[in-house]
């Protein structure tokens, strides 16, 4: 089992920045990828960014956040971060942390609200 705890959401003005954190605990040795998803009211949950926990640390971003958001990791702390800059009103959503194990099982955090006021 893997437990994920997110923090860092809040209310920010358009153009501002926020940093989300996701701390993993439990069977963290089995995690292959971690990432962030978001779900806006009335919309499906969508991928924001992912990062490999392996040595490569390869990343993947949804097109609308490229150049504005940066995902990073601290393997020693079992923590993944999402630095969000130049926030827009359309970034408003509940952001969820995701962990995917090598056996393809997935775990989710409880979600953290990000609200961008225009």
Q: Average pLDDT by consecutive 10-residue portion of the chain (118 residues)? A: 95 98 93 96 96 91 98 94 98 98 94 96
In this prediction, residue 107 carries a pLDDT of: 97
Q: Which residue(s) pair with 52 in the sheet?
A: 33
In this prediction, residue 71 carries a pLDDT of: 98
In this prediction, residue 100 carries a pLDDT of: 96
In this prediction, residue 54 carries a pLDDT of: 84
Of 18, 22, 19, nearest to 6 by C-alpha is: 22
By the 8 A CB rule, do 109 and 20 touch?
no
Three-class SS of residue 90? helix
Cα separation, 116 vs 93, in Å, equals 9
Query: Buried (b) or exposed (e) across 67-84, using 16+ Cβ within 10 A?
Result: eebbbebeeeebbbbbeb
């Amino acid at each position: 089992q893997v437990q994920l705890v997110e923090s860092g959401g809040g209310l920010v003005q358009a153009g501002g920045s926020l940093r989300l954190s996701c701390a993993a605990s439990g069977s963290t040795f089995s995690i292959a990828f971690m990432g962030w998803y978001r779900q806006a009211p009335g919309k499906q949950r969508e991928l924001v960014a992912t990062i490999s926990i392996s040595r490569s640390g390869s990343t993947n971003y949804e097109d609308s956040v490229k150049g504005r958001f940066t995902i990073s990791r601290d393997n020693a702390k079992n923590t993944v971060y999402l630095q969000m800059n130049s926030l827009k009103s359309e970034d408003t959503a509940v952001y969820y942390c995701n962990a995917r194990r090598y056996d393809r099982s997935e775990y989710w955090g409880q979600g953290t609200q990000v609200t961008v006021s225009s």
